[in-house]
Amino acid sequence: MSFFGNKNRAPSRPKRSPTPNSGTLSRTNSRGSASNEEGAISKPLYLCSPFADSALVKGNFKTIVMLPKYVDITEWVAVNIFDFYTHLNEFYGVITECCTQQACPTMSAGTNLNYLWTTQDRKQVLLSAPTYIDSVMSSIQTLLDDENVFPSKSGQQFLPTFPATVKHIYRQLLRVFAHIYHAHYTEVLHLRSEPHFNSLFAHFLAFGWKYELLDVKEIKGDINAPVGVGLLWERWKNTGILEA
């Protein structure tokens, strides 16, 4: 029987939830970066203590990402990708009112980094973050609902193209994580959800690293356009949190 078949195959898109606006975080700018006495921007809040180390999981993710006994590795990857998508979709639903066409005119993930969306005719276009993320989530949902791509019935086999498909899904989910950290970490802090979000992202990274879904270039970016969360990945990797 398919391990993936026990999951709800069509999670509803989360409703827009207002972000609490009572109180403000002092000494931050609109992108959630700490400032020094002169007002110059230093590093992002998600790289600052105690926020960078806030987590629900203590230690590393070695046990959590380990392939369970008697479980097929493809099934294990499939069900985890489904879970990552579902949890990230729920997180984004909480802060979506802050991710608007006006506030996020590009899919930014670093000081000089804006992701481009590739259309069906292979053209790359610049989209606003909410449009880009909606396209990502909708396209992934379509794949999850496709029995040929994510089979849920006993005896069905995964297609030979599944590894490439799941790597593409992982890459797009990584970009959504990167945008939320870069542009909306202040909202995550306002909701006091940084332990949950950090743990979800660390689990996502550890799993991607263990099962070769994570492309180092995608998490680090280019020299002139680095991915903001690349430094968070380096920090957690160096402290052993991502050991898998």
Rg (CA), the chain: 18
For residue 114, give the H/E element and its range: strand 113-115
Whether residue 168 is annotated as binding a ligand: the answer is no
Written as six digits, the tokens of 139 are: 């396209």
Q: Is 48 annotated as a binding residue?
A: no
What DSSP assignment string belongs to 135-201?
Answer: HHHHHHHHHHH-TTTS--STT----TTHHHHHHHHHHHHHHHHHHHHHHHHHHHHHTT-HHHHHHHH
CA atoms within 13 A on the CB side of 134: 9
Measured between alpha carbons, how far is 173 from 171 in angstroms, rounded to an integer? 6
Q: How far apart are CA 78 and CA 10, in angstroms?
A: 15
Q: For residue 179, say whether it is annotated as part of any ligand binding site.
A: yes
Answer yes or no: is 98 a known binding residue.
no
Write out the binding residues: 99, 104, 179, 184
Write out the binding residues for Zn(2+): 99, 104, 179, 184
